[in-house]
Amino acid sequence: MKRFLLVALLLANANYARSLGVGETAPEFELPSLLPDREDLTISKTRGIITYLDFWASWCGPCNISFPEMIELKDEFKNQPVEVIAISVDKKRELARRFLGRHRINFKVAIDVTGNTAEAFDVPGMPTSFIIDSKGKIYSEHEGFRKGDMKKIREKIKTLLIADQT
């Protein structure tokens, strides 16, 4: 019984400690690009535009589904103030690069080998994505990925684009 209460207390505190959420300012980060000849990525460089920020890993099954969708998302909004950034949480760059080699990447990709950025965003699992508005506030969070999820994400981005025009 004591063990059960201890586990319940730890779980309750873990959920309580999670503070980052919708309406919060996205944490600042500076991460190295995984793509050749690209500059380091920071969230501050995306102020003034809408950002789709995706945390992923090479071992993540749903990430294989989300990457082609992110490529289409970037293509769809290429002439709009929308940025797509994917951050790998792989500990080894080679694993992430091998994963990227299976896709024709048209968006920015960084790596977070320390896990500090994923921790700052309170990432609960892989993949987890955030839509960040043009003011740098988290507009929505999406955990996991299944076919059809990108339709909802597109609608949220379109809503923000309309709001920014008014």
Which residue segments constitute the domains of the chain, with CATH numbers given?
Answer: 24-165 (3.40.30.10)
CA distance linking residue 30 with residue 27, whole number of Å: 10
* Cβ atoms of residues 92 and 69 within 8 Å: no
Can you give the pLDDT of all 166 residues of the chain as single tens digits?
444 333 344 444 444 445 578 999 999 999 999 988 788 999 888 899 999 999 999 999 999 999 999 999 999 999 999 999 999 999 999 999 999 999 999 999 999 999 999 999 999 999 999 999 999 999 999 999 999 999 999 999 999 999 998 8
Residue 73: partners with Cβ closer than 8 Å, 6 or more residues away: 52, 84, 150, 153, 154, 157
Distances (CA, A) of 61 to 16, 57, 66, 125: 29, 9, 9, 12
pLDDT of residue 3: 46
* Helix 61-76 with 149-165: angle, nearest 10 deg: 30
pLDDT of residue 63: 96
The model's pTM is 0.87
